[in-house]
C-alpha cells in the first residue's frame, strides 16, 4: 500500500455545463492534516463529496485507500468519518441515540458501542447532555456531536467540511483543540475552510482553490513565503480617498492591493514602511502592521478576498 491515502489526478466534476471542480491534482499522506482553502463556491464541498465516495466524478483519477470510489463506495466509506457542512443529525433522537445509530450504520456491535459512546461523550464534552434531544443543543454542541459521530467508527480519514463556520470564537477554539488531539492520535484530517486562520492553525499542508481549480499548494508558511512578503501595512484613508491614494503610494513599495475599505502594502518591514509613508506627507486615518497570512496569499493568487 502506497503512503498516499488519497490520490487525485485531473479530478473533475461537472453539473451540466457548469464545471464545479476542474482537473485538480493532489495527494494526502497518512497522518497529515490537509486543507482545501478557498471562498464559497470554489468547489471544495464538491471535491469533498467525491472523496467521500458519495458523488461520482465526471473524469480524472481518484483513489482513496487505494480503491476507486466509483467501484468500491461502501468499502471506502467504511473507513471515512464525514463531518458535513450542515449538521445532519437526527433531531428526533437524543445525543446518545445519534451516536448509537451511526455506529450501527457501520455494522458495529451494541457491546462495542456502549463503551465507545462514553468515550465520545467525554471527548465532545457532552456527558451532561447525553439524553438531551438534539434540537435543544447549541450550535457548538451540535458541531461537536457531529464530529463525535464521525469518530464512532475510528476512521482512517476524518473529513471536515467547514468545521467551524457559524460558531462563536470560544466554540471554535474548543473545536480546534479537539481536532489537534485527533491529529496527535494519528488520524488523517482533510479539512475545507474559507477561514485562513483555521487553515494556518490546523493544516500541515493545503491547496488554495478558486473557481474549481487549484491555484497553489504547500504548507501555510511556505505559501506565505512564496506568494506574499513577510509583513503587511494596512492603511485606511476613508472610502472616498483610498483609490486616489493608492496611485501615490505605489512609489513606496513593490506591491499594493487596493480593497474597497483599505490599502494593503506588502513589505519585509512594516514599521519602516509606515515611517516612510508619514515622511512623504501621507496621513492615513488608521494604520496597522501585521504579519502576512493566507488571506494575502489568496488575494495575490486571485485578486479577491476570501470572504466576499
Partner 1 sequence: MSSLQTRQGSLKIVDAARVAARGALFVTEARLRAMVKWLWLIISIAIANPVLYLISIGLGLGSYIDQNTGAMGVDGVSYLTFLAPALLATAAIQGAMDESVYPTLEGFKWNKTFFSMNATPLSGNQIAMGVFYNSLIRTIFTAVLYWLVMLTFGVLDSPRAWFAIFTAIMAGAAFGALMQALAGFLENENVFFTIVERFIIMPLFLFSGTFYPLTNMPIFLQWIGWISPLWHATELGRWLTYGSEISTPMLFLHFIFLNSILIIGLIASRRIFTKRLGK
Binding residues for partner 1 (CB under 8 A): 52, 54-56, 73-75, 77-80, 82, 84, 86, 88-93, 97, 101-102, 104-108, 112, 115, 119, 122-123, 125, 149, 151, 153-156, 181-182, 184-186
Give the residue with the Cβ less far from partner 1, 79 or 255: 79
- State which H helix or E strand residue 300 sits in: helix 294-302
Name the grid cell of 103.
Answer: 455506529
Shortest Å, Cβ 179 to partner 1? 12
Shortest Å, Cβ 184 to partner 1? 7
Shortest Å, Cβ 234 to partner 1? 39
Distance, in Å, from the CA atom of 209 to the CA atom of 41, rounded to the nearest integer, reads: 10
Give the residue with the Cβ less far from partner 1, 186 or 303: 186
Q: From residue 114, how far is each of 34, 176, 238 by CA, in Å?
A: 32, 26, 60
Give residue 303's region: left, alpha or beta (phi > 0; psi -120 to 50): left
β-strand pairing of 263-267 with 213-218 = unpaired
Per the CB < 8 A criterion, the answer to whether 23 and 47 are in contact is no
Give the residue with the Cβ less far from partner 1, 52 or 220: 52
Name the grid cell of 51.
Answer: 472523496
Per the CB < 8 A criterion, the answer to whether 79 and 37 are in contact is no
Give the residue with the Cβ less far from partner 1, 149 or 172: 149
Shortest Å, Cβ 33 to partner 1? 16
Give the residue with the Cβ less far from partner 1, 123 or 282: 123
Shortest Å, Cβ 121 to partner 1? 10
Amino acid at each position: 500500500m502506497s503512503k498516499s491515502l488519497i490520490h487525485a489526478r485531473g479530478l473533475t466534476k461537472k453539473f451540466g455545463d457548469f464545471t464545479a471542480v476542474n482537473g485538480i491534482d493532489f495527494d494526502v499522506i497518512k497522518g497529515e492534516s490537509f486543507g482545501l482553502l478557498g471562498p464559497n463556491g470554489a468547489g471544495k464541498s464538491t471535491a469533498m463529496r467525491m472523496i467521500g465516495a458519495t458523488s461520482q466524478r465526471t473524469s480524472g483519477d481518484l483513489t482513496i485507500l487505494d480503491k476507486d470510489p466509483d467501484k468500491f463506495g461502501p468499502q471506502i466509506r467504511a473507513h471515512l468519518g464525514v463531518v458535513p457542512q450542515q449538521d445532519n443529525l437526527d433531531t428526533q433522537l437524543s445525543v446518545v441515540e445519534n451516536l448509537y445509530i451511526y455506529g450501527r450504520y457501520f455494522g458495529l456491535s451494541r457491546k462495542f458501542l456502549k463503551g465507545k459512546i462514553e468515550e465520545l461523550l467525554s471527548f465532545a464534552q457532552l456527558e451532561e447532555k447525553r439524553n438531551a434531544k438534539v434540537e435543544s443543543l447549541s450550535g457548538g454542541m451540535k458541531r461537536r456531536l457531529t464530529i463525535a459521530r464521525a469518530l464512532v467508527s475510528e476512521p482512517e480519514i476524518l473529513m471536515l467540511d467547514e468545521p467551524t463556520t457559524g460558531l462563536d470564537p470560544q466554540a471554535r477554539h474548543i473545536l480546534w483543540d479537539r481536532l489537534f488531539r485527533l491529529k496527535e492520535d494519528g488520524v488523517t484530517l482533510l479539512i475545507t475552510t474559507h477561514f485562513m486562520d483555521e487553515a494556518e492553525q490546523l493544516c500541515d499542508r493545503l491547496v488554495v482553490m478558486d473557481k474549481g481549480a487549484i491555484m497553489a499548494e504547500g504548507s501555510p508558511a511556505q505559501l506565505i513565503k512564496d506568494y506574499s512578503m513577510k509583513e503587511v501595512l494596512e492603511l485606511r484613508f476613508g472610502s472616498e480617498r483610498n483609490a486616489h491614494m493608492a496611485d501615490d503610494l505605489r512609489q513606496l513599495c513593490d506591491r499594493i492591493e487596493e480593497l474597497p475599505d483599505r490599502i494593503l502594502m506588502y513589505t519585509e518591514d512594516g514599521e519602516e514602511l509606515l515611517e516612510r509613508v508619514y515622511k512623504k506627507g501621507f496621513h492615513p486615518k488608521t494604520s496597522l502592521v501585521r504579519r502576512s497570512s493566507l488571506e494575502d496569499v489568496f488575494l495575490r493568487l486571485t485578486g479577491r478576498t476570501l470572504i466576499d
